[in-house]
């Protein structure tokens, strides 16, 4: 599995692609996707970046309504 980028040695993250029905590995620094064999498949498009950013903002808004005490870890639990 291509966990680290060959070009910049940064961490890659798996991103499921619904069109191809497979996961590609994304390097956010180089902005490219590779397959399981570590071959560059394509670049990260602006639409995909915007979509990911909007999902992150939506997630942050949905978790903002949760009280702080619920978000903190319980003490004395392994």
How many domains would you assign to the chain?
1
- Residue 43 β-bridge partners: 32
Instruction: Please report whether residue 2 resides in a domain.
Output: no
The yes-or-no verdict on residue 71 having pLDDT over 70 is: no
Instruction: Please report whether residue 29 resides in a domain.
Output: yes
Pairing of strands 22-27, 13-17: antiparallel
CA dist., res. 2 & res. 57, Å (int): 28
pLDDT at 15: 87
Instruction: Please report whether residue 73 resides in a domain.
Output: no
Q: Does the predicted TM-score (pTM) go above 0.75?
A: no
The yes-or-no verdict on residue 78 having pLDDT over 80 is: no
pLDDT at 53: 92
pLDDT at 46: 92
Instruction: Please report whether residue 45 resides in a domain.
Output: yes
How far does the chain reach from its first CA to its final CA, in angstroms? 31
Query: Structural domain of residue 32, as residue ranges?
Result: 13-65
The yes-or-no verdict on residue 16 having pLDDT over 90 is: no
CB-based contacts of 12, cutoff 8 Å, min separation 6: 2, 3, 4, 5, 25, 26, 27, 34
């Amino acid at each position: 599995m291509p966990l680290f980028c060959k070009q910049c040695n940064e961490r890659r993250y798996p991103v499921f692609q619904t069109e191809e029905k497979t996961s590609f590995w994304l390097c956010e620094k180089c902005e490219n996707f590779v397959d399981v064999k570590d071959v560059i498949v394509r670049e990260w498009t602006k639409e995909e970046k915007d979509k990911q950013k909007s999902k992150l903002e939506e997630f942050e808004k949905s978790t903002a309504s949760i009280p702080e005490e619920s978000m903190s870890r319980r003490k004395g639990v392994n």
